[in-house]
Structure formats: C-alpha cells, structure tokens
C-alpha cells in the first residue's frame, strides 16, 4: 500500500518520475474558454511561449488541454480538440524535453495525441469512454484517473455525499480496477480526487484534509489539482481566478501534508518553491522522529 512515507514513482511512457520529492505539473490550456486563462494560449505561438515559461519556472511536466471542463462547459468535438492540441504538443515534444500529459476524456483524442508522443493521459472522467483504458494500455503511457460525477454540464447538481473522502475512494476504486484489467500496469496510474468537480467548497476542503484516505484506500500516488478553483476565491473574499495563486500554494502545501505527491498548477514557480521547502521540513521532522 502506498503511503506518504513511501511515495514511490509514476511510470509514464519510457521514463519513471520519482515522487520522493513533490512533482509539479504546469497547466497549459489551449482553449478559448478555460475558466482561468481562456483564449490567452489558444494559438500555437503564445501556447509554446507559455510552455517554455512553465518549464523555466520549474515544471517537472506539462498538462495540455484542448477542452474546458469548468462547471457548465459544453463538450468539444474530438476533431476540434485534436486540432487545438497537436500543434502545441509537437512543438513541446520537439524542443522542451519534458513529459507531457494530455487532459482529455475521449479515447479518439487520446489515440491521436499518444501517436504524437504524449506521455500520459489525464482523464477527468476516469474512463467514462469505454475505449479509453485499452487505448492507454496499448500505448505504454501513464494514466490519471480523476473523480467526477456526471459531466461538466451536470456535475454541480451531483454533490450529495455522506462521507466525501470515502465515497470518492469508493467511486474511483472500480475505475482503477477497470484500467488494470485492461492492461494498464498499476505503477502507470495515479489518482486525483477531483477538486471542484461535483463538490461544494466545504467538500473540497474536507477532501484535501483527508487525502490520506484516498491514498491508503487506492494504493496509488495522489495528484492534487486545486489551482485557482472557486473554493479558493470564496475563502479569499471573492477574488477572481487570476488572484488565487497564493491560495493555490496554500492548498498544495496542505495537500502535501496529507499525502499528495503530484500537483497540477497554473503558476509553477511559487508552488514549486513552497512545496520544496515544505517537503524539506516534513522530511526533517520524519528523520527526527526516527
């Protein structure tokens, strides 16, 4: 069983990412309607410039998305999603040398981006597309299974939980089993509790506080994606998405303390520096306790 004291590794296509130290993944949305930066990086040149900046700021990997999954977002056709992602993916893979995950819920998109060298698929629907597990299995790529109920259009109506941490683990467990049964090796899989997806602000806080439940139940590394989410804005008095980066850092450090090892953020430098310092303090405390 994976624990915070034994963070392990994440095996993604052709390489293994050590999780002994926190891993920071920089978000790059190549969409016109992302909740945080919609339209800023929709064209290839600004998207690649942003990718280069994220890497310079210390991103260990990039997460490339061509479809907004903010609450209420309408779906994008697979061919449009592919057209948005591929030119940026090709440029990043050719020049930057960092692993790239692609945020998609569609097997057709996954197949196309994996053929162009994507290292992992970040599936916010946790295999809602019945072909996704086999596509990832055949590629040797990594897989992120994120918890969400319904779709982005309906998820915020599906927020009834008695015990949010236990139920998120309960609902991810069969998706993890499905991936393994399809041939995705467990060491290629990480899990994401889905902060902001079919959860209230209070439920998001409870999930972060109880991430150890997710890690212990599922035995896989936990990826945390609180970046610029609405619950941070609410806690900070209603600040807009662009003003939530300091709050994001706070959520990431709290998540690290509860067992998360991978962190998906829009602004990398502050998150990486804070996580590195916090991790060093936690490691020193663990060493002293021994």
| Active site (catalytic) residues | 229, 264
Residue whose structure tokens are 């993604």: 12
CA angle 271, 167, 129 (to 5 degrees): 80
- Report the SS3 class of residue 63: strand
CA angle 156, 263, 139 (to 5 degrees): 90
Instruction: Put the strands of the sheet holding 223-224 in their side by side order.
Output: 189-192, 142-146, 120-123, 100-103, 61-65, 23-29, 262-265, 223-224
CA angle 21, 120, 140 (to 5 degrees): 110
- Do the Cβ atoms of 188 and 10 come closer than 8 Å? yes
* The two three-digit tokens of residue 150, written as one number: 């319904």
Checking DSSP bridges between strand 61-65 and strand 100-103, what pairing results, if any? parallel
- Do the Cβ atoms of 12 and 120 come closer than 8 Å? yes
CA dist 11 → 20, 74, 142, 186 (Å): 13, 32, 6, 9
* The two three-digit tokens of residue 16, written as one number: 């293994």
């Amino acid at each position: 069983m994976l624990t915070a004291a034994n963070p392990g590794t994440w095996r993604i296509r052709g390489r293994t990412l050590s999780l002994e130290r926190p891993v920071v993944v920089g978000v790059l949305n190549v969409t016109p309607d992302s909740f945080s930066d919609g339209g800023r990086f929709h064209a290839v040149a600004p998207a690649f410039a942003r990718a280069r900046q994220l890497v310079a700021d210390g991103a260990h990997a990039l997460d490339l998305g061509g479809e907004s999954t903010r609450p209420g977002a309408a779906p994008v056709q697979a061919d449009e999603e592919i057209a948005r992602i591929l030119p940026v993916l090709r440029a990043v893979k050719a020049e930057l040398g960092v692993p790239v995950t692609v945020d998609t819920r569609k097997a057709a998109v996954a197949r196309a981006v994996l053929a162009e060298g994507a290292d992992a698929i970040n599936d916010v629907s946790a295999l809602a597309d019945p072909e996704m597990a086999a596509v990832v299995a055949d590629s040797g790529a990594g897989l992120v299974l994120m918890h969400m109920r319904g779709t982005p259009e309906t998820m915020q109506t599906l927020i009834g939980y008695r015990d949010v941490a236990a139920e998120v683990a309960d609902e991810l467990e069969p998706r993890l089993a499905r991936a393994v049964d399809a041939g995705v090796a467990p060491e290629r899989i990480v899990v994401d509790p889905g902060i902001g997806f079919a959860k209230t602000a209070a439920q998001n806080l409870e999930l972060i506080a109880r991430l150890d439940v997710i890690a212990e139940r599922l035995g896989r590394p936990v990826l945390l994606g609180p970046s610029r989410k609405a619950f941070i804005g609410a806690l900070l008095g209603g600040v807009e998405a662009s003003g939530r980066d300091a709050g994001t850092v706070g959520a990431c450090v709290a998540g690290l303390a509860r067992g998360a090892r991978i962190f998906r953020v829009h602004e990398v430098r502050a998150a990486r520096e804070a996580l590195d310092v916090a991790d060093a303090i936690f490691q020193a405390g663990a060493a002293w306790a021994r």
